[in-house]
Amino acid sequence: MYQGNRASFGSKSGAILAAAGSAVGLGNIWRFPYETGNHGGAAFILIYLGCVFLFGLPIMIAEFTVGRRAKASTGEAFKAIMPKGCWKYVGYLGVLTGFLILGYYAVVAGWTLEYIYQAAVGNFSDKDPAGFVSMFQNFSQSPFRPLLWLFVFVFITHFVIVKGVQKGIERSSKVMMPLLFILVVMLAVCSVMLPGAEKGVEFLLKPDFSKLTPDVFLGAMGQAFFSMSLGMGCLSTYASYFGKDTRLGNTAMSVGIIDTCVAILAGLIIFPAAFSVGIQPDAGPSLIFITLPNVFQQAFSGAPALAYICSILFYLLLALAALTSTISLHEVSTAFLHEKFKLTRGKAARYVTGGVLVIGIVSSLALGMWNDFKIAGLNFFDALDFLTAKIMLPLGGMLTAIFVGWIIDRKIVREEATNYGTLRAPYYPVYIFILRYLAPIGIAAIFLNELGLF
Ligand code: TRP
């Protein structure tokens, strides 16, 4: 499938949808709100938006360039373009990063299945805010249930990867993404109208610059890479399936806008609701799982049937959004093993799935019975999240920017941006300037700032 006669997405909109499917996921609805909450709200969001436009979009186009030009998954793409030197290790680093992310991401994805189940059996209707907190704690700290759902989620991902992504994912994304979007807008409106919601809106929109610490910059940068699926070659692997006429700049812009809108809307659901029911915004990874069920109960208190249907639908769509993301992460490692070691796709996928389950089990137990085992003060789950999102992804993104900005032939970069001279690509000079100077220096500065070296 990968050599010679490579698969490709059916259409330009298929390419955008697949990339957006990878980008939109738990990063937007689960991770963005809790990172915003941990880092003080609106000021974090401003820095986040800066990172999306200054680093995210140009690096996304750079990743597209590498993938489409090399026609190989990221593990092999750097080597294909630049066989000499150490650049191939950037590809390998990406594969490792994606594999590690999938390990703990799949745990949270599994939680969404538990919540579909709990919503479906009607367990939300009789609970107050404190009830939802203890429901989440009992669930996430118990050893078996989260592992069960982890296995289910990883097997579904495995199944889709083995069966081939094109038809299923491309087609279902076309229905699912708009539906998710509508539901998110609807819930944001409901949440903003809850009693006492103004404080949450203020938290989200009124920046308090005294809260800007080095951690805020690192957190916002990490979140931008995580949410846009950047820094590990996920989108570059997808770009290897892009057609010749796919416009890289337009695609990046569309994906960036969709991804950012969903994240901001998720914030507009979570914070007004959290303040309304008195849950602290810095509750961490549990945040959406304790605030959201409340939104359904309170906003539709007069119409229990509506509350019931909306909560099931929401977790179902969240699970599907997570699925299109886990597929994209799984695909990078599977395609790498398939191309590099000439394994069949099925065998490659089995190795990846096995490895992911091991990391997933350890991450899941780290939230319960293994919580005392700490790495630099963090449990295994949080440590893995910190290492991948805040260090490995920005590092991978910086190296990709340097690779496309400085190392590869400028003619190639131009040809890819302009589709062999058939487009004007007016953004080109800015794009090159950012790749060469702004992104590498900016990312390095945020790292050094965090280390206190400024
Ligand atoms: N961006 C996805 C989300 O927001 C997660 C994801 C998919 C990802 N592929 C990635 C994160 C690659 C980092 C790198 O849920």
Nearest residue by C-alpha to atom 7 in ligand 1? 325
Nearest residue by C-alpha to atom 4 in ligand 1? 27
CATH number for the region 12-450 comes to 1.10.4160.10
Residue 172 has pLDDT above 80, yes or no: no
The answer to whether 36 and 44 are in contact (CB under 8 A) is yes
Q: Which residues contact 382 (CB under 8 A, 6 or more apart)?
A: 366
Instruction: Round the average pLDDT of the chain to a whole number and report it.
Output: 92
Residue 9 has pLDDT above 80, yes or no: no
Q: What is the mean pLDDT of residues 186-211?
A: 91
Q: What is the mean pLDDT of residues 441-450?
A: 96
Given ligand 1 and candidates 48, 107, 329, 395, which is best to mutate, with the most ligand atoms within 8 Å of its CB? Answer: 329
Query: For 30-84, what is each residue's pLDDT tens digit?
Result: 999 999 999 999 999 999 999 999 999 999 999 999 999 999 999 999 999 999 9
Residue 169 has pLDDT above 90, yes or no: no
Nearest atom of ligand 1 to the alpha carbon of 321: 15
Nearest residue by C-alpha to atom 9 in ligand 1? 229
Give the SS3 label for residue 375: strand
- What pLDDT, on a 0 to 100 scale, did the predictor assign at position 279? 85
Cα 307 to ligand 1 centre (Å)? 29
Residues with CB under 6 A from ligand 1: 22-23, 25-28, 98, 101, 226-227, 229, 232, 234, 325, 328-329, 393
Query: For 79-114, what is each residue's pLDDT tens digit?
Result: 999 999 999 999 999 999 999 999 999 999 999 999
Q: In the chain, where are the structural domains located?
A: 12-450
pLDDT top residue among 223 and 299: 223
What are the C-alpha distances in Å from 430 to residues 53, 377, 419, 427, 439?
12, 41, 18, 6, 11
The token pair that represents 349 in the structure block? 């996928």
pTM: 0.95
Q: What is the mean pLDDT of residues 372-382?
A: 93
* Lowest-confidence pick of 4-18, 200-214, 236-250: 4-18
pLDDT class of 285 with cuts at 50, 70, 90: confident
Residue 173 has pLDDT above 50, yes or no: yes
Q: What is the mean pLDDT of residues 256-261?
A: 97
- What pLDDT, on a 0 to 100 scale, did the predictor assign at position 3? 44
Secondary structure E strands in 343-421: 374-375, 378-379
